[in-house]
Structure formats: C-alpha cells, structure tokens
Amino acid sequence: MPFIPKSTFAQTALLIGGLLLINQLVSYLSVTYYFINPSYTQINTLVSNQLSTLFISGNDTLSEEEKGRLQVLTGVKFHDKISAMHAGVNNATYYEYMSQEVSKRLNRNVEIRVKPGENYIVWIQPSEDENLWISVPLDGISENDMSPLSMYFIVIGGLSVFGGWWYVRRLNKPLQALQKAAVKVGHGSFPEPLPAQGSSEMIAVTQAFNKMSANIRQLEADRVLMTAGISHDLRTPLTRIRLSAEMLPEEQDWIKEGIEHDIEDMNAIIDQFIDYARQDQEEKLTPTLINDLVHELTDARKIHEDKHIELDLRDIPIIRIRVVGIKRVIDNLIENAFRYGSSNILIKTRYSQRSRSVYIAVRDYGSGIEETQIQSLFNPFQQGDKARGTQGSGLGLSITKRIVESHGGQMEFSNHEDGGLEAGFTLPVFYTPQKNVNDSEH
C-alpha cells in the first residue's frame, strides 16, 4: 500500500502512534458515554425531581417535624447559611454546567455545588433565598457500573497485544526465511531467490542475500568446471605416459611398474579433487538404517585377516540420508583408522532421544592425536598428526565433513580416555519409524 512507510522505524512509529490514538479515542468515548453522561443525567434528574417536590410543597409550609421525617426518609436536609458552612458547603465545588441544566428543568435559577467522596452530597441554593441551602445525598457509582471500564481495558489490551504480535510476525517471517536459506547455502545447497518483502531494510538485506547466493553458486559452478577441465587435461598426458610405459622393453619392467604406480596415484588424487569440488547434492534422501550400512561395509573388509573390526551397534531409528555419501564417510573413517591407528578398530552407533540424533563413531587403538590439531584435520590439503602418516592429498576428511554437514550433521573427533582416536559424526533424525529405541547417550 502506498501510504504505508517502508522503513522499520517509520512502521514502528506508525504502529505505536495508531494504537495510542485508538487508545485515546476509546478512552474518551468510554468515559463520556458510559460514565460522564449517564452520571450527569442521573444526578440532574434526581436533583431536579427532589427540588421540584420541595418547591411544590414549599419550604416555609413544612414544619420541623415534617422536615425531620423527610430527612429520615430521603436524607434531604435544610440548612441556613451558618449551619451549611458548618456542614461543609464551602468545601463543595461549584458546577456551572449542572447548575444550568437543573435551572432549565426547574424554570428557576439555582446554584449547585457538589462534595464528592464516600458521602456524595449535592448542595442546592435557590436564587430567591440566599439564606437557604438544601443538601441531597447521592449514592456513588455501583460495582455494576464498572463493566464498561473492564471492557475498555480488555479491548485496549487485546488490541495492543494483537498489534504487537502482528508486527513481530510480519517482521520475523522474512527473517526466518532468510535464516533457513542461509543454512542451506552453508551446507552447499542453493535455494531459489527469496521474495523481497517487509520493510525497506529487510528488502535490502534479502536482495543482498539473493545476490550473494547467486555469486556463490556461480563460483561453485566455475570451480567444478575448472576442476573437471584440469582433470581432463591431466588424464590425457597420463594416458600417453601409460602407453609409452607399455612399450618399454621387458628388462625395464621395474621402470614401467613405477610409472604405472605413479599414474594410479595421480588418478586417485585427481578423483579426490573432483569429489571435493562436487557437492553430491544430486542423490536423493532415502530412509535407511545406519546399522545395515555398517554391516555392509564391514562384511566387504572381512577378507583382510590381519585386520579386525569389533561392532557395538545399538538400536537406532531409520533416518533419511544420501546412502552413497554416508557410506563414503563411514568407509573413509574405517580406512583412516586402519591406516593411521591400529589393525583393530571398534565401530559403534548410538541414538540420543534428547537431541534426536544418531551418532556413528570409529575408534582405533593407536597413539591418538594432539587436541590442538583435531580441528585442522578437516582443512583442505592439511595433514594432521605427522606421526599418523602423511599419505594422501589431505582432502578425505574435508570431503566427509562436507557430506555430513549437507545432512545437517556434525563431525566429532576426540581422543579416547583409554587411548586411541574416536572419529565420529552425528546426524539429525528427520524420519523415525514407529518403534521403541534405547536412549543411549554417546
């Protein structure tokens, strides 16, 4: 709408100002129509009726006994000037509007004074007799008359709360969308551009985020394209070198074997570069039981008799994962445990109902790693503890970290209290079957 300001400050000021204006209008109408007008009308009518009766009867014709009986029945008292002063007429306030209204009803001039408080008293003096004062007691406002005031507070309170809730919801809705989109970008997934809505500041932030997301997506695409081009350009001369090695005479087989071994290493390094550049987002999430993946991977390694794998698998729920990616993560942890740790390893799985996450860990019985070097293990091209070996390009854990974080999980490496390194990761439970599971904290 064109008349609504765009900035957050102006919108807040407009909201508060509008609520205060409505508050004042409702207050004025409520007090005027529910309290002032009915009270004045009731008092004016009662006073006029009382005075009409007295003036018709005539003050001079009433005996003292009749005045006493009238006081007992109605509470009306007759005073002269001196007794009225002792009774507190000087403490009463002159009401011009009330005097005019009562004078119109009686067709004669009267002066009206009101003394508020617990004993609400109206003092009347006829203009033709300055020595006469008549006091008429009136009841105050009853408790039943408070219902409009209660309704007023309910309306104003509800309106203020609703206005605040509506404004905060309108402000938070694009912020929540921005937060979710930022998390996706952080995990390597690029959502569609967010709609620019809300205040002018929020629109500017959303537009900047959409531009940043598009730039990052372009950088990722350029990186993948560059890596693919480099790998293609490298594989062509490697193939020629392999063909040339095949043509060497038999007495130089040792040279040929060395060349082929180097070519295989270079191809493996190129594959790791490609895997690091690729986000593996094409694979769909599939409901899977992690324990089945562990059994599948360990069964494939049983042919190595010099290596032993111990399993400690607890009951865990089915979760939705990219199967190929998670298998690569687990297989990488198993390979690192054998290569840098020990020939005996332990694989365990746990489920935490409190955090609703699954924990998978591979523990070796080696020398462990310094605590200060654990975080650096996940940096690209970074080797960890030199004592654990220097083979490879340093991209394996960086790739597994990306895969785990793309599932909303987290890598957790720590030195075991009994020795060795426990390398694991957590995955949130997005899909849980109808079954009971143990709440085993890791």
Start-end of CATH 1.10.287.130 domains in the chain = 175-279
Taking only the tens of pLDDT, the chain with its 442 residues reads 566 767 666 677 677 777 777 877 777 777 777 666 666 676 677 677 666 666 655 555 566 676 677 667 767 788 888 888 888 888 888 878 778 877 887 777 888 888 776 667 888 888 777 788 888 777 654 444 445 656 766 777 777 777 777 877 777 788 888 888 888 787 667 788 888 887 777 888 888 988 988 888 887 777 767 776 777 677 778 787 878 877 778 777 778 778 887 887 777 777 766 666 565 556 688 899 999 999 988 887 776 667 889 999 999 999 998 888 898 899 889 988 988 888 899 999 999 988 899 999 999 998 888 887 777 777 665 554 443 444 444 567 877 888 888 888 899 999 988 888 999 999 998 644 444 444 444 4
Start-end of CATH 3.30.565.10 domains in the chain = 286-428
Start-end of CATH 3.30.450 domains in the chain = 8-141
Say what the pTM is.
0.49
Q: Superfamily for 286-428?
A: Histidine kinase-like ATPase, C-terminal domain (3.30.565.10)
User: Residues with Cβ < 8 Å from 342, sequence gap 6 or more?
Assistant: 364, 365, 366, 420
CATH of domain 8-141: 3.30.450
User: Residues with Cβ < 8 Å from 289, sequence gap 6 or more?
Assistant: 316, 318
Could you tell me the fold of the domain covering 175-279? Helix Hairpins (1.10.287)
